[in-house]
Structure 1
């Protein structure tokens, strides 16, 4: 863990000239303000002030003064920049003019949930698998929807022509302190996946916002466009963000009995019960785009069923023993467009709520989930995820726990912006409509 003094010394040793003060807005878009190294001492003391609209992600007539306070543990030098006049970054927490955490700081939303978990003596490690596409660019460098290759699941060169770009992405991530589990070509043309090894939840959220920035930067250096859009191509698989949760007790005793086979030990079952109880409300946060719901359709191993299982890829939660005998809870419905701070916050808060209220999980989903009658005959009904962003926003509005987790400030701005986004979508005449109707009506 770097201290203030460590950062000052490391910046001097690395010949850092420029510092990027990074933070995310409400919608998970990474932003930054650049300062020079001469201001480093002041930066570390929280003397950088700015306008709150850049954090809110929306502009209104009630902007406030905010302060960016860098987290020394997130200091890292960008490896692709010159060694002389190097560029480094911090990830910042956001405070208001009075010195309190700013209501619109999504990083602080996650920190509050993790503080509650710590009071319950629960620590939750999180791993992630992130999928993305690489597309060709035109002669002017503008992105196209032409996939970079026609390879499939786990193919390799020469079919996987994105291997060099993916390798450079992995090497850059490792230089920036990431622990990479594996990487490979995914099922779609030009689609790739990189897995991040488990870390504490705040560190993983920091890594995920950095991941998206690095992937796009290194792809651009290869003359490619990296897209983390949930469903960029018709007829091809969507891109997911699979989150692997490992709940543990602070005294190193796991929150579950790893010696017992599934079905689940009681306490982890409560955690799963809580996550599932709030999944429909949380979907607006974990799947925040209109395009997100083009991926969440029945079939193609898409996690549509609000249930848990040991083997089915059609369930929102998949529960399995990890290689070290720890049980992992894989949350399969989020996509890479989400704000990882808010997504992890609402998922973990739901799980903690389930433990506090001792919520019971439903029976596990039948293996063949395409046959819904198998589950109905076993005496329970399986709900599905919302089918549109509008439906997801209605579910979010009706769930007080999720709204309280976000805080009313973030909730209102998120809901307002996404509601307007849906209305713009509804008012737009789409190419599909012209193709389907224009010749006949």
Structure 2
């Protein structure tokens, strides 16, 4: 740690950094930032930076509002969009109470606790997200709804197009920040894009996702367009998910791999999937935390599900209609064995979402959950009776039902901790109450002339 701090202080001096932004997130996953002068960085390392936690969503109660932000020197990076006259860097922070204890309400600390629980059992948790988002011509929404920057589709090559130049600029900026990108391409919706980050440990991935969202927003501003991670911005187009590949390692060995087993998937891997399936409904209020998230999960069911968004808790080998997919991978590459969780959307708080995915999978291992038979058919094309007969439990169909399932969940309460758990429930109930009170254009168009 001292060497990392020395490196940061030396780099600030050598690169002429004028401002250092200290980043952390609130419980919903909104990025918070405070800029300090270079001369204050050493003090922030040793003592932390004090702030009023009660002013941050879900961070602390009014009678215990004082908190400290401690920058993590391993996350130091120069911000490439601020590398001109006033070079600016950033570091993620861990939040503590004044007596030096990790703040229970810090989402980054929630994930650290979950990772420590896994480490106690000999596991390291790796994640690899595929992040989808829309590029719009403007943030202003007219009568026609959002206007995408193009009308291209899946994997389309649009020479000279906005999205092509946008992805190229974004990928270069991410690489400059030390975030490795595996793929980038146009997605199925008009103006919809996907950029996949290379696998990393879950804490680094969560930090990378928060940085990713900032980069995408900054590049959009630079290029005169608007980027949104809203799960379902257009009713007749696919939603934006964040399919995430998950794997556990024991030292250098992939715990999900077993040569000769079905799909090369070990007992540990099968139990992990069983845990994900069993607990998926109760964690959905976090992996899909907004009213709009359920338009993605259920908006296309019964028609052409272009979004490939899962609605039922089942698994399959390379089955894109399943909640959990066991992807194909290159023969003799056991280290790449993994499972893909497909419900999580691009607007989730990655620290809390990954904490719960890990906790659900570990519960399956610890309790020896039995993996049900795989889904071989297109789950969307089955009837309700067929899905019930096969035991495919539906995911919550609204934020309201997701909240009801979450508030009865011991796993979610234990993983998030009492304060985060209670705040998420309160925040989501408020959102649902506000949404429920709205009179929508649909209701007016459908009813006002005939009722």
Which TM-score band (shorter chain)?
A: over 0.9
Q: How far did 1:172 drift?
A: 0.4
Q: How does 1:12-51 map to 2 (within 5 A)?
A: 12-51=13-52
Greater alpha carbon shift after TM alignment, 256-265 vs 215-224: 256-265
SS at match of 1:115: helix
Q: How does 1:162-181 map to 2 (within 5 A)?
A: 162-181=163-182
Distance (whole Å) between structure 2 residues aligned to residue 303 and residue 271 of structure 1: 18
Which residue of the partner structure matches residue 126 of structure 1?
127
Q: Can you list the C-alpha shifts for 1:168-206, whole angstroms capped at 9, x where unaligned?
A: 111100000011001001010100000001001110000
TM-score with structure 2 setting the length: 0.92
Which residue of the partner structure matches residue 353 of structure 1?
363
Contact map agreement 2:58 2:105 (CA 8 A) in 1: no
Which residue of the partner structure matches residue 316 of structure 1?
323
Which residue of the partner structure matches residue 241 of structure 1?
242
Which residue of the partner structure matches residue 211 of structure 1?
212
Q: How far did 1:365 drift?
A: 0.8
Distance (whole Å) between structure 1 residues aligned to residue 176 and residue 379 of structure 2: 42
SS at match of 2:393: coil
Contact map agreement 2:149 2:190 (CA 8 A) in 1: yes
Aligned residues: 438
Structure 1 residues 60 and 145: CA distance shift in structure 2, 3 A: farther
SS at match of 2:18: strand
Q: How far did 1:255 drift?
A: 3.9
Q: How does 1:178-193 map to 2 (within 5 A)?
A: 178-193=179-194
Contact map agreement 1:258 1:327 (CA 8 A) in 2: no
Which residue of the partner structure matches residue 117 of structure 1?
118
Contact map agreement 1:26 1:410 (CA 8 A) in 2: yes
Which residue of the partner structure matches residue 302 of structure 1?
309
Which of residues 318, 337, 342 in structure 2 aligns to 1:332? 342
Distance (whole Å) between structure 2 residues aligned to residue 390 and residue 373 of structure 1: 24
TM-score with structure 1 setting the length: 0.94
SS at match of 2:339: strand
Q: Can you list the C-alpha shifts for 1:54-97, whole angstroms capped at 9, x where unaligned?
A: 44347964451000011111100011213443100010010011
Which residue of the partner structure matches residue 153 of structure 1?
154
Contact map agreement 2:126 2:202 (CA 8 A) in 1: yes
Structure 1 residues 114 and 73: CA distance shift in structure 2, 3 A: same
Which residue of the partner structure matches residue 402 of structure 1?
412
SS at match of 1:20: strand
Greater alpha carbon shift after TM alignment, 207-216 vs 150-159: 150-159
Which of residues 428, 434, 444 in structure 2 aligns to 1:434? 444
- Larger % of helix: which? 2
- Structure 2 residues without counterparts, runs of 5 or longer: none
- Larger % of strand: which? 1
Distance (whole Å) between structure 2 residues aligned to residue 239 and residue 437 of structure 1: 31
Which of residues 424, 427, 435 in structure 2 aligns to 1:425? 435
Q: How far did 1:47 drift?
A: 2.8
Contact map agreement 1:15 1:84 (CA 8 A) in 2: no
Q: How far did 1:376 drift?
A: 4.4
Distance (whole Å) between structure 2 residues aligned to residue 178 and residue 220 of structure 1: 21
- Structure 1 residues without counterparts, runs of 5 or longer: none
Which of residues 363, 384, 394 in structure 1 aligns to 2:373? 363
Distance (whole Å) between structure 2 residues aligned to residue 377 and residue 344 of structure 1: 28
SS at match of 1:167: helix
Q: How far did 1:262 drift?
A: 2.1
SS at match of 2:396: coil
Q: How far did 1:252 drift?
A: 2.6
Greater alpha carbon shift after TM alignment, 83-92 vs 256-265: 256-265
Structure 1 residues 305 and 57: CA distance shift in structure 2, 3 A: same
Q: How far did 1:275 drift?
A: 1.2
Q: How far did 1:321 drift?
A: 3.7
Structure 1 residues 253 and 439: CA distance shift in structure 2, 3 A: closer
Q: How far did 1:265 drift?
A: 2.4
Distance (whole Å) between structure 2 residues aligned to residue 137 and residue 368 of structure 1: 37
Q: How far did 1:406 drift?
A: 0.5
Which residue of the partner structure matches residue 271 of structure 1?
272
Which residue of the partner structure matches residue 380 of structure 1?
390
Distance (whole Å) between structure 2 residues aligned to residue 118 and residue 60 of structure 1: 31
Which residue of the partner structure matches residue 222 of structure 1?
223
Greater alpha carbon shift after TM alignment, 112-121 vs 53-62: 53-62
Q: How far did 1:373 drift?
A: 5.9
